[in-house]
Amino acid sequence: MIITIIFFKIVEAVTERSKMLCICSPNNPTGTYISKRVMHHLLDVLPKHMLVLFDAAYSQFATASDYTNGLEFVRAGYPLIVLQTFSKIYGLAGLRVGFGAASADIIKHIMKVKEPFNVNALAQVAAAAALQDDEHVQLSLQSNTRGREQLYHAFQELRLPFIESMSNFILVELGPNAKLIYEQLLNKGIIVRYGGIWQLPHHVRVSIGKEEENTAFIKELTEILASQNLFEWS
Ligand SMILES: *Cc1c(COP(=O)(O)O)cnc(C)c1O
């Protein structure tokens, strides 16, 4: 239902002056995604001159059966470019390397403005090796999927509203004290992203960690929330 609304909102926002549509799926910071069916429909109704930029930075964490990483639509000849990064599931953010996949016709235009040596040779070697490392990707995916469930469960116990995520983070609503709670977590050595930068002042975005890291986060959050309640009641 929500996705249908998003579909109409996007179509409604497109005018004859629109040149490019950017879609981030799974999205940052919500963790929501656009289904294969809706994506297909969208590509079919968009004006043919429009380029679709499909940011799939978190694609490897998505487990929904109707998720698409966009590549099938590149192969089918639609005018879209799929972006990938080695900063997320591959854990190579310091190397500054990613890639795009699109038809030769789209790439041809990018090559006209691409700077020479924009990705260093060592980073390219590491990226190519990372692509072969299925075991790392599988283990990270499994750990992330388990961690998501662990945090969902904790948020439910704490009665905190959250958005189900296809990514490696969860957006959770902490209420008007979100910034204070974020700062208190920071004092305990736990770093989450405060939602203020996305105009979500009542939310924080929590990255999924290893089981023991998630446990430590849940413990501190539980304590902070409990002490706040005491404070409010007194
Ligand atoms: C991390 C991220 C990227 C990729 O960033 P790098 O510059 O490759 O580290 C792209 N899009 C989104 C939404 C991201 O969160």
Residues 11 and 79 in one domain: yes
Residue 230 has pLDDT above 80, yes or no: no
Residues 142, 25: Cα–Cα separation, whole Å: 19
How far from chain centre, in Å, is Cα 18? Answer: 24
Final residue in a domain of this structure, among 70, 99, 132: 132
Ligand 1 site residues, Cβ closer than 6 angstroms: 24, 28, 55, 57, 85, 87-88, 93, 98
pLDDT, position 24: 97
Structural domain contains residue 233: no
- Residue nearest ligand 1's atom 8 by CA: 85
How far from chain centre, in Å, is Cα 162? Answer: 15
Residues 166, 144: Cα–Cα separation, whole Å: 10
C-alpha separations of 81 from 26, 99, 110, 188, 213 in Å? 16, 10, 11, 42, 36
Residues 67 and 175 in one domain: no
How close is the Cα of 3 to the center of ligand 1, in Å?
23
Count of domains observed in the chain = 2
Q: Is 38 helix (H, G, I), strand (E, B) or coil?
A: helix
Find the CATH number of the domain harbouring 158: 3.90.1150.10
Residues 116 and 215 in one domain: no
Residues 91 and 109 in one domain: yes
For residue 67, what are the domain limits?
A: 2-132
Final residue in a domain of this structure, among 90, 116, 132: 132
Residues 106 and 193 in one domain: no
pLDDT, position 231: 62
Structural domain contains residue 234: no
pLDDT in tens, 89-133: 999 999 999 999 999 999 999 999 999 989 999 999 999 999 999
What's the whole-model pTM score? 0.93
Q: Is 20 helix (H, G, I), strand (E, B) or coil?
A: strand
Find the CATH number of the domain harbouring 60: 3.40.640.10
